[in-house]
Structure 1
Amino acid sequence: MPRELIEAGEHAGWYRWHREPDGRFASLLGDLYFRAGPTGGVECRMATDRRHSNGLGYLHGGFIMSFIDMAMFSFIYPQLEKSGAVTLSCATDFLSPGIVGDAIEASGEILKETGKMLFVRGLVTQNGSNVASFTGTMRKIPRPDKRLA
């Protein structure tokens, strides 16, 4: 995905990982912002709105898990110079409801890397409260010669 450094405004100092609307899933969620964390690892951020809500008016668990999946890729991005990756597993524990309209953030780190595998963990927060914790396993794979149409 294209990424750009934001130089002014609310996200100054963050990179924006943006996908133009192209009918693929990631383009439906919104822009993901990321930056290096203060003690290592990566921090990610995404604005939320009504399309991310469930029937109770909170953030939908499926949206939070999709955000986590995208965040995990931002954590491992520097390790993917010549390869892509897929998620093999993601375990999520929901800790409190997410509020629609407020940005959610994820911080995380790579716990271990082998030749083809990456193991990550992280935490999703909103307004200083823990929303979810997660662990994930990613597998490096060759990049396809052609992109999907």
Structure 2
Amino acid sequence: MTFDPVTAGWKQRHGQGPFTRIVGPVWVRREEDGSSTYGLLAEERHTNSRGVVHGGMLMTFADHMLGWLVWDAVERRACATISLNNQFIGAVKPGDWMEMRGRIVRQTRSIIFVQGEAKVGERVVLASEGIWKVLGVD
């Protein structure tokens, strides 16, 4: 049986650009503490030649999720990824429901450092850390 995000209480993340609409949909769930968890249902179209989700797709998911975390933290001002490092820890297969959470490690006026972790169930599949620049702020 395939996971259905709608019946599980997830909402599709709106405001996605054209690229995200191609690789998504990406889902969001607001947590009791006010933070967000993001979800993606892995599909066959996300896979590589070995039949597991392509590393580029995992990095795309991390870039979007951490970027939204930053965007919310800077009151929805424009920002851009400066650096994104990823460690591929486990495979994701079509039909897997992947969830990702992140946190801000350090924030200056114009630079934000973040970390995130993606899981399938309790199994960590990706660890990410990145740096974002708030645009228009020196």
TM-score > 0.5, shorter chain as reference: yes
- How far apart are 1:73 and its partner, in Å? 1.7
Paired residue for 1:44?
A: 38
**Deviating runs (4+, > 4 A) in structure 1?**
37-41
The AA in structure 1 aligned to 2:7 is: G
Q: Distance in 2 between matches of 1:54 and 1:125?
A: 19
Deviation at 1:36, TM superposition (A): 3.8
2:62 corresponds in structure 1 to: 68
Structure 1 length as normaliser, TM-score? Answer: 0.78
* Offset of residue 76 of structure 1: 1.7
Is the CA contact (8 Å cut-off) linking 1:41 and 1:109 kept in structure 2?
Answer: no
TM superposition score normalised by structure 2: 0.84
The alignment of Structure 1 onto Structure 2 pairs a total of residues equal to 131
Higher relative contact order, structure no. (Cα contacts within 8 Å, ≥ 6 residues apart) = 2
- The Cα of 1:27 is off from its aligned counterpart by 1.4
Identify unmatched segments of 5+ residues in structure 1: 1-7, 143-149
- 62-71 or 127-136, which moves further after superposition? 127-136
- RMSD between aligned residues: 2.1
Q: Aligned partners of 1:112, 1:63: CA distance in 2, in Å?
A: 26
Q: Runs of 5+ in structure 2 lacking a partner?
A: 1-5
1:9 aligns to 2:7 (yes or no): yes
The C-alpha deviation readout for 1:36-82, integer Å capped at 9, x for no partner, is: 44667431101111110000000100000000001102212322335
On the 8 A contact 1:121/1:135 being kept in 2, the answer is: yes
* Distance apart, 1:131 and its partner CA: 0.4
2:3 match: none
